[in-house]
Chain A
Amino acid sequence: MSSRFTSKAITALAVTAGLTVGLTACGSGGSSSAGSGSGSGGSGSITVGLITKTETNPYFVTMKKGAQAEAAKDGVKLLTAAGAYDGDNSGQVTAVQNMIAAGVKGILITPSDPKAIAPTLDRARQQGVVVIALDTPPDPQNSADALFATNNTTAGKLIGQFAKAKTAGKPVKIAMLDLAPGVDVGVQRHDGFLAGFGIAEGDPSIVCAADTGGDQAKGQTAMENCLQKAPDISLVYSINEPAAMGAYQALKAAGKDKSVTIVTIDGSCTGVSALAQGEFVADSMQYPLKMASLGVDAVMTFAKTGKKPSGYTDTGVNLIAPTPIAGIDSKDTAFGQSNCWGS
């Protein structure tokens, strides 16, 4: 009996080994390296890949919608994938490899871990695929052919300048709700805000700084802790709208939502309506839809003409403020509502 079972197990093992190794050995694809997809899969059909950080964040959902709309317009096929969580490099590596195997001409990617994805993007480019980073550059940046993104320094600077004008003549205590240590997007927005506000790092008016990971729940915790540390905070810089909403919840619970000013970055429709209701005073709006549609167009141009996109394309940023301040260029919430992303 034991031998009967054992022989079955051996057969099973042999079948698998045969399946994997055998097919691997005499594969009919004729591709000489793992996952190299040189053919275009039929004349006239162009395939583009889009890889975002996650499937769930409205920012990336919008990016995907933009890419889908543009792909439908251009008549190209779009493949999409995402990591399992923000920071999931391994999942993005798998997606890049699978898309190359699917024969994409180009990959649009928002790196979850800019440094960690770089070797994989280098390999993809060596296999003739054009790589365009959306929103976030890889590190080093030349691991992608081109970058379509918001100028995050400008985004920070705009709300910094607005906050300065808003609080002019009053003593100010600032809480900085940052992203995470060493992440470029967060650092650039942080530095941009400080430059716009006209203070240096370590200025005594900054009474609290905390990391939120761009997450609402963590943003709330961070704000609660900051209020414990410095109850007289009067201005809150937040890395993005979820962090800002978390901060607002904490301030509201402490009964300080009317006296504390929040400025933020993103421009989602949820954020703009919070802005319209007076939860924040200013919001730098970015354009993920545009990043994606420009990306799809660039890959199509590459597929048709062989011309690769290069360098950095600023997809623009606008300051949205329900109550404008003289001397600061800003758009109203009506503009915000008709240009916001998400639903």
Chain B
Amino acid sequence: MSSVTTPTAERAAPAAPPADAAGSRLGALLRVPTLGPLGALLLACLYFSFASDRFLTGGNLSLILQQVMVVGTLAVGQSAIILTAGIDLSNGAVMAFGSIVMTKLAVAGGLPAWLAIAAGIGVCALFGAVNGSLVTLVKLPPFIVTLGTLNIAMALTHITSKEQTVTGLPTVLTKLGDTFPLGQTRVTYGSVLMLVLFAVAWYVLRHTAAGRHLYAVGDNPDAVRLAGVDVRRQLITVYTIAGALYGIAALLLVARTGVGDPQAGQTENLDSITAVVLGGISLFGGRGSIVGALYGALLVGVIRNGLQLTGVDSVYQILITGILVIAAVAVDQFARRRRK
């Protein structure tokens, strides 16, 4: 049982031969997949602290957290799916649909706000369940399944909203966009919620049997099946929970912008995958820590904000992100090769 339930990253840790000291140290570092992203994040922060006197202020750092809360929350669900060696292209579109469902029901449907929110999150979870079922029961590749549901969710968003932005929202829906004082700085409630979601996901993945199964499914599904774990149920659960997380992201999106926007969510699928990859989580599944995805999301946010503060054209943000993504995947490949 232990061979199945131990996460790969842990299992690999003691394997380095003691002979080659420098190599083993490098190897050991590579085996902690969050150190690279954390280093990159700290370096970026250090650089921008010198480049702009406006970067390292409480207000600005709080702002960056607020700006990544939507993609960060999506990345929690995306990480879980990628750890199972899957991928979710539909999450941005599902989130947009969820945000239209909750704002429409609250404004035009006259539902109490909490019920509208629950319905929005429920619809997203349902999308997750459909994704998971198609992946496991019909045995379709996650890439194709979620490409399909991406289009379905996008179409439903436009049909439901009739292409109209939903305004005049009850305050409950935008509550997570409000701030509370922490020292001299105002922190957005939604930022805290995102950090809490990361912490909970990290705990579940590291310290519960379900979490270890999830890693194992991504690493070697056949071994897991032979060990008596119901892989199908496991996968459907992961996709459904990820869907519910997209629903929470929808609420954060509504809180951040103050409207229900049918045009939203068109790049968030790739943005969340970018955060996951930058965070050192392997696209082949089974390897990486969810904390890395937080670093990845923050790294993109810090670069975007920092370049704006220093007056650099925003195109360079896209350029730098592209280079970092390739670097992150290269590091993952290098680490994999060393393991073999």
Contacts and interface: CB of A to CB of B under 8 A. Distances in A.
A89 B261 CA distance: 8
A142 to B, nearest CB: 14
A113 B188 CA distance: 24
B289 A29 contact: no
Contacts of A88: 263, 266-267
A37 B54 contact: yes
Given A5-B32, A26-B183, A41-B54, A101 B59 contact: yes
A29 B264 contact: no
Interface string A62-77: 0000000000000001
Contacts of A19: 42, 45
Interface stretch (B81-89, B134-142, B309-317): B309-317
A103 to B, nearest CB: 6
Nearest to A56: B315
Interface in A169-187: 180-182
Interface in B257-278: 257-259, 261, 263-264, 266-267
A116 B259 contact: yes
Interface residues of A, number: 64
Contacts of A32: 59, 184, 186
Which of B13, B56, B164, B259 has most A Cβ within 10 Å? B259
Given A24-B187, A34-B66, A116-B259, A9 B34 contact: yes
Nearest to B306: A98
B interface residue count range (under 10 / 10 to 19 / 20 to 34 / 35 or more): 35 or more
A118 B295 CA distance: 31
Contacts of B45: 19
Nearest to A98: B308
A78 B313 CA distance: 10
B160 interface: no
B313 A80 contact: yes
Nearest to A49: B308
Contacts of B32: 5, 8
A115 B206 CA distance: 44
A113 B261 contact: yes
A25 B183 contact: yes
Interface stretch (A10-18, A217-225, A262-270, A302-310): A10-18
B179 A33 contact: yes
Nearest to B266: A85
A9 B206 contact: yes
A34 B58 CA distance: 8
B186 to A, nearest CB: 5
Contacts of A116: 165, 257, 259, 261, 263
A90 B256 contact: yes
Q: 3 closest pairs, A vs B, by CB? A: A27-B58, A29-B57, A119-B258
Interface of A: 1-2, 4-6, 8-9, 12-13, 15-17, 19-21, 23-37, 41, 55, 77-82, 84-85, 87-91, 93-95, 97-99, 101-103, 112-113, 115-116, 118-120, 180-182
30 contacts: A1-B13, A6-B206, A12-B291, A15-B38, A19-B42, A20-B61, A24-B183, A24-B187, A25-B184, A27-B59, A27-B184, A28-B57, A29-B56, A29-B60, A31-B60, A32-B59, A34-B63, A34-B188, A81-B308, A84-B267, A85-B267, A88-B267, A90-B253, A97-B66, A97-B67, A101-B309, A112-B263, A119-B259, A180-B163, A181-B162
